Amino acid sequence: MSQPQQERSRATRQRLLDATIDNLAEVGWSGTTVVAVAARAGVSRGAAQHHFATRDDLVRAAVESVTDELTREMREQEAHFAEGGNRPLAVVELLTDMWAGRFGRAATQLWVAAATDPGLRALVLPLEQRFSRELFRTTAELLEVDRREPRAAESVRLTIDLTRGVGLGALLRSDLQRRKADLAQWAAVLATLPGIGS
Amino acid sequence: MSQPQQERSRATRQRLLDATIDNLAEVGWSGTTVVAVAARAGVSRGAAQHHFATRDDLVRAAVESVTDELTREMREQEAHFAEGGNRPLAVVELLTDMWAGRFGRAATQLWVAAATDPGLRALVLPLEQRFSRELFRTTAELLEVDRREPRAAESVRLTIDLTRGVGLGALLRSDLQRRKADLAQWAAVLATLPGIGS
DNA sequence: CGCAAAGCAAGCACTCCTGATTGTTTTCGG
DNA sequence: CCGAAAACAATCAGGAGTGCTTGCTTTGCG
């Protein structure tokens, strides 16, 4: 039995967005063409064009989706964060896994492409800034940061940057497992810094 | 007076390589076409094709050049490293400046593109691994690492990853100046870790 | 039941890029 | 001085992608 038309439309649009995100994560920015995305979504180019009139429209929707999903993912992790155990290590691993995930990899591809593409940059920058604030807030919350300690904010930012750097290296080298010991050391250091785990 | 032919050939080839690297750093991977590079180099497409028969050939030469130049740059920094002052901070800033530089930005663009392009990945991976070993060695040397301390190697890798993460963020946000305080904190922490500055 | 709207699909024209081919100019060696 | 080689340049054919137009099918409402 076929779907109600509006539901069918919604489903096609969602498949196109999912396909765009997967394409970004697996093929990269330059390989994310409307032709490739439509094929991966299993819809025709005419259908794709009906939903997104131009490639720019598709990309805009995908960028918004990626940052929304990353934000949602972080909030969900925060909501379900397991007490007990090594909190700094768990947070560091959470962030590292985020960058390594589907949305994290798509985001990295988009951000690097945005660095050199003015149109994409104008689109990505405000969304990335909003996401960064949310990421900072969530990470600080999970690390139980004492907001009165001025150095604590620096530690949070260092943690985020470090996991981003590890994530970037892992994109190419697929060496995340081997980085566990390094990350464990950072978590151990983090636990000793002022304002962390108050 | 025109140049000797061999010198002229060498100069054209060098201009093409320089143009490729600048294009990568400023326009990104997808915008680095032979047409764009030849225009930036101020040579015709025929001339470009004479020196590099295919785009793959040009890219291969550029990848080798980028990793060679980054390696040379690190060795030069090592040779001219100024004694006195805050050594960990100086090293952290040195690494951060490297990623922010022309070769560092081109390298980041290449590495991210290589993550999703199998042909480019096969080319980039061995060179990146060689460069990473050199970078580790140089950084450890500059930090005066005690090789007997097992945790020290982790600290070196964390330092490299952190500056890479900061560099990635700075590609998009141009916020390097504002990160100085964070990096200063890492340098302060680094100085306290076992095996650093022995 | 019929018609309009929406969703989907096919085809066209244009642009850009690459690799190959052909042609021109410059340089160098015999 | 001449011819060959190298450096450089112009052109062509084909492929890929985008945006637009036209056409078909399905759905829903009056």
- Give pLDDT tens digits for B96-134: 999 999 999 999 999 999 999 999 999 999 999 999 999
- Residues in chain A predicted with pLDDT less than 50, given as ranges, are 1
For range B41-47, the mean pLDDT: 95
CATH code: domain of residue A153: 1.10.357.10
The answer to whether A27 faces chain B, any CB pair under 8 Å, is yes
Residue A197 lies in a domain: no
In this predicted structure, what is the pLDDT of residue B105?
A: 96
Instruction: Specify the residue for token string 């080319």.
Output: B123
For residue B34, the enclosing domain spans 5-192
Please report, as a single letter, which amino acid is at residue A10: R
Specify the number of domains making up chain A: 1
Shortest Cα–Cα distance, B28 to chain A (Å): 6
Residue A11 belongs to some domain of the structure: yes
Q: Look at B116 and A31 and tell me if their CB atoms are within 8 Å.
A: yes
Q: Which has the higher per-residue pLDDT, B68 or B174?
A: B68
The CA–C1' separation of A125 and C5, in angstroms, is: 38
Whether B146 is covered by a domain: the verdict is yes
Tell whether B181 is covered by a domain.
yes
Contacts of B181 in chain A (CB under 8 A): 154
Measured between alpha carbons, how far is A37 from A19 in angstroms, rounded to an integer? 6
Question: Does strand D come within 7 Å of the CB of A47?
Answer: no
pLDDT at A176: 86
Query: A with B: how many residue pairs have Cβ under 8 Å apart?
Result: 130
Return d(Cα A30, Cα A40) in angstroms, integer.
15
For residue B197, tell me if it sits in a domain.
no
In a domain, A167, yes or no: yes
% of chain B with per-residue pLDDT over 70: 98
pLDDT at B49 over 60: yes
Cβ within 8 Å, pair A160-B164: no
Q: Which A residues 98-117 touch B at CB under 8 Å?
A: 108-109, 111-117
- For residue B47, tell me if it sits in a domain: yes
pLDDT score at B198: 63
How many residues would you count in chain A? Answer: 198
Q: Which residues of B touch A145 (CB under 8 A)?
A: none
pLDDT band, very low/low/confident/very high, at B1 (cuts 50, 70, 90):
very low
Alpha-carbon distance values, B99 to A78, A92, B94 (Å): 32, 23, 9
Contact: B162, A165; criterion CB under 8 Å: yes
Among candidate residues B167, B166, B187, B194, the one with its CA nearest the CA of residue B89: B187
> Which residues does chain B have within 8 Å of residue A26's beta carbon, measured at their own beta carbons?
116
CA-based end-to-end distance of chain B? 57
Strand D: which nucleotides have any atom within 7 A of a protein Cβ? 6-11, 16-23, 26-28
Asked whether A98 and A70 are in contact (CB, 8 A), the reply is yes
Q: Pick from A27, A121, A164: which is nearest to B165 by CB?
A: A164
Contact yes or no for A128 and B173 at CB 8 A: yes
Nucleic acid strand D within 7 Å of A35 CB = yes
A3, closest nucleotide (Cα–C1'): D27
CA atoms within 13 A on the CB side of B11: 9
A198 within a domain of the structure (yes/no): no
Convert the pLDDT of each residue in B161-170 to its tens digit: 999 999 999 9
Nucleotide nearest to A8 (CA to C1'): C7
Q: Which among B116, B173, B185 is the nearest to A154, CB-wise?
A: B185
Asked if B104 and B167 count as a contact pair (C-beta separation under 8 A), the reply is yes
Residues 6 or more apart in contact with residue A85 via CB below 8 angstroms:
none
Closest partner residue to A27 (CB to CB) among B116, B154, B168 is B116
Q: List the A28 CA – D10 C1' distance (angstroms).
A: 34
